[in-house]
Structure 1
Amino acid sequence: MPRSPGAAGARAWGADRLIGVDVARGLAVLGMFVVHVGVGWSLADGSNALYPVAAGRSAALFALLAGVSIALLSGGSRPRSGKEMGVALWRVVIRGLIMLPVGTALTMMGTPVSVILAYYAVFFVLAAPLLDERWKVVAGTAAVLGVAGPLASFYLRGLMVRGGPLEGPVQAVDSYDPFAVYAGDGVVNFLVTGSYPAITWMPFVLAGLAIGRLDLRSVRVRWALVGVGSGLAVLAYGTSWVALYVLGGAQRLAAATDRATGAPYGAEGVDAALYEGFGGAVPTSDWAWLLSAAPHSGTPLEVYGAGGVAIAVLGVCLLVSQYLRWVVYPLAAVGALALTTYVGHILLIWVAEQGLLEGTPLVFVTDQLAYSVLVGSVLAATVWRLLVRRGPLEWPLHAVSMWAAKRIP
């Protein structure tokens, strides 16, 4: 049997914790560091070599693992029942309600990061009703939403544009929505128009919920995740490439008109958009945008492509962590303290943006922000996990949600 990294490491995880899930979550967090602070290395053209790998996919993996965590919290492959399932359901909802103000506060800080935590709150609440459903039902729901959600988003957002029939109602909702007024991210954004809208991101969460109901300790299941995920990714990204560059989709988009400027996108504009990705959804100016699988495009092909990568990565992490627990320990520690690490790196970005360390001996921290975030997160998470166990934000989230859930009839 593979051993954990010493007695301290065993205590840190507990006998029943799936370290591979923490490793995958750690990879998702580091992927966000690539996008947010530029962790990686530069190519000859000045671009970050890791950006095409991490953009969009790290957030999708993060969302998928949210669903896995919800499933594990409620019993994993042996779902709880009765009062225990009720407690688990309320723990999920309460965790979401706690993360909503935390995420909103981070958004209000005005960093260039599209904060996912407030959206997480919505994901948790929407996933709760499916907590006691069979995994096949949840997986089927995720599969259907992976197509229906992006199509519905494209249609609805087309009605919300300037002069559209839903422009007025959306403005009215936003004007009374305190989250939209103070943070710029409100109910409409959470559901349809934001960076991580539920209408296109719930498939990731529900896929994770279904996966979390499987026996993730089974080697056969782990290899199945690798195979199924890889197949989905190849099929989705391959279909998008053929549609855009063989069947003329990219050429059609180059001639399409940008509603913001009134000018055609042009070939360079389309290529740049497909490389850099979008702010949560593709433009509604032409249906051919739905052929894209670019980061954060919110299309069916992106959902299936990024979702497939996330499933495969989870399978690989579960397989590798079984034999290399010492090696992956720091990465797993980051994943176990994902909330603390995520919030911490947003705060450090804010400190850098404000120039609060300028003229102090600690200015090197913000001058070398990418290294500070990466090295600081890995070292701090590893030491904390070995010595204390639950993170400084994970502990109150666990304690408060458990305490409150047990007192709800």
Structure 2
Amino acid sequence: MSFKVVEAFAGIGSQAKALSNLGIDHEVVNIIEWDINAIYAYDIIHNGPQNLDKYKSTPKEVLIEELSKYQLSSNGKEPLTLASLSRLPISTLKRVLEAIRRTRNLVSITDVKAKDLPDEIDLLTYSFPCQDLSISGFWHGNKGGIDRDANNRSGMLWEVERILMELGDENRQVPKYLVMENVTNILADRHIGNFVEWQTFLERIGYVNKVYNLKATNFGVPQNRTRTFMLSVYVGDNQDLRSNIETFFVENNLENVRTNLDKDILDEYLKIDYTNAIYYAEAITNTPNDTPSRRKIFNENPHLVDEDGRPNAPIVRTITTKQDRHPNSGVILHDLHIAGKSQFRYLTPRECFMLMGFDESDYQRLVDSNFKNRKDINFLTNEKLVKFAGNSIVVNVIQAVFEQITQIREQYNI
């Protein structure tokens, strides 16, 4: 029987990618994602090009009416107003609506009720927004964390609690497995009380929890990125099973995994062959203007590639939602000599995707399905593509967590 999955805060679907990599017979029965950019990108990556023939004669007013039923966002931060939705080109409206339908997207988690979900969910993943948990968020005034009354993005964690409670109230089975991913700052003094409260709730309704801090380099990806994961396994009131699962986690601690990366592994990720027209164009796009602030970025960030075009570092820093910033993941020297431009570039979105564990073909699907949104500007801009990667989960890491689910299923028939 197919393994039924719900991806909450789905982003571009690193969870679905990991399950596919493992060859697990699964079905993503629903995703939950409100950002129209990520909605479209997820659909293209996992379902391929869209066929919009069915919308040929659909008036814009009908598309707006359909989409206005959902709480959508154009930036992942605040809801899209009806006026803003109405200003979107009809080509964008068609693609977003088709993406929602093809992915069975329930859109905003605040609107999702237990009755909207299918019976017998095997796995619910929830990588809720980290902005109000992260250290950088704190410095920008986001101090609510995951407080219940914070009314912020990271507080969306408690919507997951609400849905699980609704399932219980309806005498329906909660998911057999839950997988959480977020920044390690969730374990900081400011947030640990809330996180312990969340774990206690899950234990009370029948889950065994295992918290991991996992680093991408230990799973074969040359990126200095550590994130907190929690795998929760439903055992109900079966104390023997609870004990067995707790023993499993002690004997199979993913924090003990170590991988020695090849010193030249970045060769597989960095696209520095500028005789390739695509890589050349992407390098140009990601080369900043020669300004004092960019010179400072050059001087204060790791040089990933030296003057000879050879990787100069074994790993990159954490992929964030922006590369034109300090600190960033690292800079790459080049000799392309473009007037007014720097002699270095940032990581390209293609490289960022690959350093998050996606295949180059996944990224190319987005490029091939990009379209002009307005004023000859691509819907999926360079900045949005980098943001997708920075907000995602390293596929190889969550894949290791899913492998533990497979082992538990086989060993304990859960």
- What TM-score comes out, normalization by structure 2 length? 0.24
Larger strand proportion of the pair: 2
Larger helix proportion of the pair: 1
